[in-house]
Structure 1
Amino acid sequence: MTRARIRVLIVDDQELLRRGLRMILETDDGIEVVGEAEHGLRGLALIPELAPDVVLADARMPTLDGLGLVRRCAADHPGLPVLVLTTFDDARLVRALLDAGAAGFLLKDVSTDALSAAIRQVVDGGLVLDPRVARSALAPPPRPRDPGLTDAERSVADLVARGLPNAEIAARLHLAHGTVKNTVSALLRKLDQPDRTALALRLARELPEDDA
């Protein structure tokens, strides 16, 4: 059965950029732009009507900015990923967006193929972070405590930290999808994290590099 096209809502205060993004994304047969909004409040108003699979939003906008939009979506539309696309690469802004529940952060000069791939990844439950800002945004704190994970949990945790969705983790580790899902749930409980994004951020900061 053919998979339905991914429904995207674009939220950006610049009309020219919205139109440009629409034209770029609609060259992908698997993506459909279902609407545009000039700021976060308008975007929130359109979500119930348009039922997007993902929101592609600017970080800096009038009325309600990207951070406010991410927070409101997390509260009012849990499970709807918001992928932030912006010219700003401020590490503190990236941290705030991700802590608020953003599904990812990309700079606006990202390639067309990378943008389409990022949209698919966040819809599948992954976390996307432009590598040019990842290092500063995920700079590790002082030496953390060992979270006390089992070897099996660490194998899954390493791939969660890289932003991979459950299906890809299962394929890489030759595990059943249900096993991966249960392990992620166990990691959320063990590390006392509220959601997958927070879990991925903590694991990216705390897992030693040789745990891969």
Structure 2
Amino acid sequence: MNTHEFSFHGIALRALPSGALFWPEAGLLTVSDLHLGKSARLSAHGGAQLPPYEVRATLERLDADLGFTGATHVVCLGDSFDFPGLESCLPEDDLLWLTRLQAGLRWTWIEGNHDPGPLTLGGEHRAEITLGPLTFRHIATGAVAEVSGHYHPKARLRTKGTTLSRPCFLYDADRLILPAYGTYTGGLSCDRAPLSGLMARDARAILTGPRPMAIPMPGAAGPPRPRARRPA
């Protein structure tokens, strides 16, 4: 599996093609915005009809990422389910699959704006969690060394006369924002507010896909990083 390695606050991280983030030294796999059950919720409320296998597709990717990384701790950065209580409405096979993935691992559910965390499932439930120098939460606050999700960032890359649009990671000196991991979650172009103003002008975008790659973040308009002073 191709990954993109980068450093954030002195920590070597890997961006996976799926949109998951791996911290090898800590054995930590982080995913954001799974939105499990989205198709079921929309169908129940007369919304857009999505293919009914979105939960299974998301769990397949998560299963593969856990197998590839050998992670021992999983942090889900909020909006793991599309609506509070949806975990109790999923097909039994999907719930059993999720339970199997959790077996033997430390599993942390961060509360999101769509759901407070699946309280009926195993694992620990937090508003946020700090591991080493990094704080993991659902929505960026502007704090230093935070890892978050929520915005479902996407970036466009023009190459050979075509335009690619892919979910992406965004990072600058202070913050790191993950793409949505769930199937059919949609996205927000990173050159639009609030992402364009949230990230520093020299921010980078890491496009997901078979070969993750980093590019300058399109549309970044926030304040530049302060330059380190040279010793006198």
TM-score normalized with structure 1 length: 0.34
Larger helix percent: 1
Larger strand percent: 2
